[in-house]
Chain A
Amino acid sequence: GENVEQHPSTLSVQEGDSAVIKCTYSDSASNYFPWYKQELGKRPQLIIDIRSNVGEKKDQRIAVTLNKTAKHFSLHITETQPEDSAVYFCAAGPSTDSWGKLQFGAGTQVVVTP
């Protein structure tokens, strides 16, 4: 099955700087790569996603890049703000065995200091 590794586990950045989180996946059949932001005690929120027919996607301060050959994808946050502080999860899928399962990375705790 799919295996997703996510790095780093924690990331501290100063307000205004950029943050980059990287994920690798193992299943070459995966074709959907979402990123979720989860604040403490809250639900994971889909912030951006990318499909395998696209190499890069941008939405304001957030961008995701995908390298299918190397099987890795990254989240880029520019001009970070304190409200960007949260845990970010990458995911890959869907699983080919059934029903669109996603495999999640372990998460990255991002702390933006003013």
Chain B
Amino acid sequence: GAVVSQHPSRVICKSGTSVKIECRSLDFQATTMFWYRQFPKQSLMLMATSNEGSKATYEQGVEKDKFLINHASLTLSTLTVTSAHPEDSSFYICSASISVGEQYFGPGTRLTVT
């Protein structure tokens, strides 16, 4: 149980284009999903908290117009990186919460912007 999928696993895009990443909870309903960014050899940096049917809550310093989050159902949240630039290249990981605190992670998406 508690399986979270993420798609795509890898994506390469050109500077200025937008990329959408999907996060799905496969065997449970997640009222809350989280989006993280992870640089090499660093910890998980929370970008935003996503709740089904409501606007995402962004962490300080994260541009909400650049990183669009939609949580359309209890099993799906999407992150769209708009007008991507090379500095947006990173490993993006989502997690889904079963109960308050407990989080299960997706496999991550490696984004490379050329």
Residues of A at under 8 Å CB distance from B?
A: 31-32, 34, 36, 41-46, 49, 89, 93-94, 98-102, 104-107, 109
Contact = CB atoms under 8 A, between A and B. Distances in A.
B57 A98 contact: yes
Contacts, number: 60
22 contacts: A31-B101, A32-B100, A32-B101, A34-B101, A34-B102, A34-B103, A36-B105, A41-B110, A42-B107, A43-B93, A43-B105, A44-B44, A46-B102, A46-B104, A89-B43, A99-B49, A100-B99, A100-B101, A100-B103, A102-B46, A106-B43, A107-B42
A99 B102 contact: no
A104 B44 contact: yes
A49 B43 CA distance: 18
For the side of the interface on B, what is the size category? 20 to 34
B4 to A, nearest CB: 8
Given A44-B93, A99-B49, A104-B43, A93 B101 contact: yes
A100 B43 contact: no
B75 interface: no
Contacts of A98: 49, 57
Given A43-B105, A43-B106, A93-B101, A100 B93 contact: no
B97 interface: yes
